[in-house]
Amino acid sequence: MKIDRLMSIVFVLLDKKRISAKELADMFEVSLRTIYRDIDAIDLAGVPIYSTPGVGGGFEIMPNYKIDKNVFSPSDLTAILTGLSSLTNMIKGDELMNALAKIKSFIPPERAKEIELKVNQIYVDLNSWNVNSNIQPYLEDIKTALQSNNLTSFEYIAHHGNITNRIVEPYQLVLKNSHWYLYGYCYQRNDFRMFKLSRMLNLQIKNECFIRRDYQKPQLEFSEVLQTMQTKIKIRIHKCILDRVLDYCSYDNFSPDGDDYFIVDFPFVENDYHYDILLSFADKCECLEPPHFRTNLKSKLYDTLSLYKD
């Protein structure tokens, strides 16, 4: 969001004596034109910024300037603290803790309890229930590689258990659906790829550096594409798994079937992942139609049963 970027630019300028427009553009992954507009907006807001042209020039805040603590409203402070607090659950490090401390210093003493109450009304925990012990150290290593433009290497467990060796230029850490991913340029595929951290083995930060490429951020919104791939199948479920099925579709898709069962129009994509979802419901779920989905489920159940034959 623009307001977040403007605030971050102010803190960067307060922290550094002088910084160029290009450095700011690279830091926030925006164009030079956007940075110039942001600097104008900050200056109009009352933060005195002046620029020095030429080699070694850039933007800086006038010496001895201090931000007026009234620049942030209680609503602004609540929103910022809520966002930063949720990130500290996922990302360890002094940077976020220092940012939290700085923001808290803007809270007027007479509003401290009010703002604390509002912040505590929303608690965001982005950690998954089952935590892979590799994730946190890998996050820290990749953050280091991102900051220094170092290549990374690792073994990657792809579909069907295939393990391949990868050398990757890291460009972005992505948190999606409580899972961390590395977005980078893969030398084996000669293209940008997303790598799930939980599928990585033996992550190493190489001494070799790389020159950053122009790249587009990864496509992370698939709702429209998913709708074109999905089809509705009819399943009959016992009420004891109602809560679990609601993780995948809304209650509008449910119709009572007697006292203990429901008929559900279940959104389904014909692949192993979605078949595994249905199989995870065990004997509390029956696929009614279409017939070939029902046949495929029978086949998978027979394959599972064959593992337990004496």
In tens, the pLDDT along 249-300 reads 889 999 999 999 999 999 998 888 889 999 999 999 999 999 999 999 999 9
Domains of the chain with bracketed CATH: 2-67 (1.10.10.10), 70-120 (no CATH), 135-209 (2.30.30), 224-306 (no CATH)
Give me the count of residues in the chain. 310
Can you tell me the mean pLDDT for 122-126?
Answer: 70
Contact residues for 104 (Cβ-Cβ < 8 A; gap 6+): 81
User: What pLDDT shows up at residue 93?
Assistant: 59
C-alpha 143/C-alpha 138 separation (Å) is: 8
CB proximity list for 100: less than 8 A, separation 6 or greater: 81, 84, 85, 88
- Identify the pLDDT of residue 99: 67
Q: What is the pLDDT of residues 22-80, one digit of tens each?
A: 888 887 878 888 888 888 887 777 777 878 887 778 888 776 665 555 666 777 777 77
- Judge contact between 168 and 208, C-beta under 8 A: no
